[in-house]
Chain A
Amino acid sequence: MSTGSAAYAARIGMRRGGLEVRHTFTNSQDLWNYFFPALIFLVVMFFMRGAAVPGTDFSLGSRTLPSVLGMNVAFGGLSTLMMSLALEREDGTLLRAKAIPNGMLGYLVGKLVLVSGMTVASILIVLVPSMFMLDGVALTSVTAWLTLLWVLVLGLVATLPIGAIFGSLFTNPRNAGVIMIPVMGMVAISGVFYPIQSFPEWLQGVAQVFPIYWLALGMRSAMLPDQLAAVEIGESWRQLETVAVLGAWAVVGLVLAPWVLRRMARRESGSSVAERRERAMRRVT
């Protein structure tokens, strides 16, 4: 593939992603997926707003907001991409892409644009109402927005390849849901809703291996007043460590994902799609 035709296909892919983002706002299933979790988070934060972060008089609800946004980035990159790859492999979207010149490249670029767009949308849906509801969240400086932006981008780069790898490994989208159980476990230990300093040290260590903790921390560093760094592990926002851990995930993912995706794409054919359709139909009836 020459660079020119790859760049051309990537541009088509971006338009594809844009169209698909628009589609998500025109059907009830996707709208539900945007608004229902957002509503839950808002209710949780509303009831937490009176409580204080241990050792401070800062609202626990306001601390939760950036953490939830960080978690949303991880969910978007991991589960949204994983589920849609597994589903679209089953329904033949991927095979169609494969039958078209440079179609796979366009498809993947489109998918990345779609998932990024959906993640930004789901962040805004939580963020905007929260700004009216919670006190103490400081998104007023340019630095704060820049931090939010780099955490968002780095978070997507760290999690999307992992999502792509898992999406390629599952041949049955209904089994892919299994992966959500450990992800939920990670959320529980990553200090999204409550600081984890009271946890045993080894558990804190485990949490700090995975991207969710760092995404939540990174978002807190962007949106909370600096004195709150004092109640984090190491009494600092540890932005260098955030970059290091998320960067490491990104490197591992970017090395493995192309290989796994190519292997997956190579195996797609009409009969493999037909086989999966048969299986899914049997389940329905």
Chain B
Amino acid sequence: MAVVEEVDTPARETRRPDENVVLDVHDLRMRYGTTDVLKGVNFVARPGEVVALLGPNGAGKTTTIEILEGFRMRSAGEVGVLGVDPAHGGEDWRARLGVVLQSWRDHGQWRIRELLGHLGEYYKPYSTERITRPWPLDELIEVVGLTEHADKKVAKLSGGQRRRLDVAIGIVGRPELLFLDEPTAGFDPEARREFHDLVHRLADERTTILLTTHDLDEAEKLADRILILAGGTIIADGSADELTRAMSTDAEVRWTRDGQRFVHATQDPTGFVRELFREHDEAIGDLEVRRPSLEDVYMAMVRQFEAGQHDAAVRQFSEVTR
């Protein structure tokens, strides 16, 4: 029974077929019925870049990722993934992508080594001079920290071990572009640390990574660049530092003087502290400067955006009723 025989469309040229652009999203739009979920999303990602896509629930993160993975058709806009339109990506394109899926109870009867060995075989014909596919089995199992469980049945794994297996399956073909959707949900702190090391290692090997997470601390640690998606558009695009500066969120300075505690919020903590010492010098103790975290910046941005949207709605409403 010859089924699911994908038609091999030749790799379509995208807007700018550029070796140095892995993800090229231009004016991406998605509409379900009459609801616009994505209203013109723009961003690019370059080789070896780790990009975190953040945003409130329902902002369209999953929709965006699924369009890029080629699992969902877009309504409008131009998208290039490894220089190919994902709506027409063939099997050779698919071989260069890694997708880490949330597993549940699939392949429960398989043993880890057996499953990874089997899935890896699909990638063998897609080896290139630069990249040998698949990842050597034992090395891969070691990289995700499952060596001592290699002969266990998948159904017998703990939640964290299953998640590591998901990651292993995602990277078994040595992808040039990796999609990670909530990769560390359910990880303990140690597993999380090991996973972060793995992401850095992949990025060093020029794997481009697009990840979504609700853990802003993780995004700050892992991502070279952060995209905030809200209301169907990218409302911020830059490194954690750049976003912090752009929002000019206040830093917090804490100190004690004569046994009394003080807190002050300022946009120029250095200047403030210099002034503080000039005035009180040795009387100052327990000095602490807390820069705004990505979380503070994120919350401020999303709130500002939502307030802006609210204002716009009010304006529109008053125009109509006037």
Contacts and interface: CB of A to CB of B under 8 A. Distances in A.
B94 A101 contact: yes
A174 interface: no
A270 B126 contact: no
A101 B92 contact: yes
Contact of A19 (B72, B95, B118, B126): B118
B1 interface: yes
Interface in B91-134: 91-92, 94-95, 97, 99, 101-107, 109-110, 114, 118-119, 121-126
Contacts of B126: 101
A1 B38 CA distance: 32
Given A5-B91, A20-B109, A101-B123, A269 B4 contact: no
Given A93-B106, A101-B95, A270 B71 contact: yes
B66 interface: yes
A23 B186 CA distance: 29
Given A12-B121, A102-B122, A270 B66 contact: yes
Chain A contact-residue range equals: 35 or more
Interface string B2-28: 111110100000000000000000000
Nearest to A93: B106
A15 B124 CA distance: 15
B10 to A, nearest CB: 12
B85 interface: no
Contacts of A93: 106-107
Q: Which of A8, A20, A100, A112 neighbours the largest number of chain B CB atoms within 10 Å of its CB? A: A100
Nearest to A20: B109
B256 interface: no
B4 A16 contact: no
Contacts of B121: 12, 15
Nearest to A22: B109
B309 interface: no
A101 B106 contact: no
Contacts of A1: 5-6, 8, 90-91
B118 A88 contact: no
Contacts, number: 120
A268 B102 contact: no
A108 B3 contact: yes
Nearest to A276: B104
A285 interface: no
Interface string A1-37: 1101110110010011001100110110000000000
A91 B105 contact: yes
B3 A269 contact: no
Given A96-B169, A258-B1, A271 B66 contact: yes
B142 to A, nearest CB: 22
Contacts of A105: 3-5
Interface in A114-168: 160-161, 164
Nearest to A91: B106
B69 interface: yes
B173 interface: yes
B181 interface: yes
B122 A103 contact: yes
Contacts of A160: 1
A262 B4 contact: yes
Contact of B102 (A88, A98, A101, A273): A273
Interface in B39-63: 62-63
A115 to B, nearest CB: 11
A2 to B, nearest CB: 7
6 contacts: A1-B8, A1-B91, A5-B125, A100-B94, A268-B71, A274-B102
Interface of A: 1-2, 4-6, 8-9, 12, 15-16, 19-20, 23-24, 26-27, 88, 91-93, 95-96, 98-106, 108, 112, 160-161, 164, 254, 257-258, 261-262, 265, 268-271, 273-274, 277
Given A95-B71, A271-B66, 12 more contacts: A2-B8, A23-B110, A91-B104, A93-B106, A101-B91, A103-B119, A105-B5, A112-B1, A257-B1, A258-B2, A273-B101, A277-B104
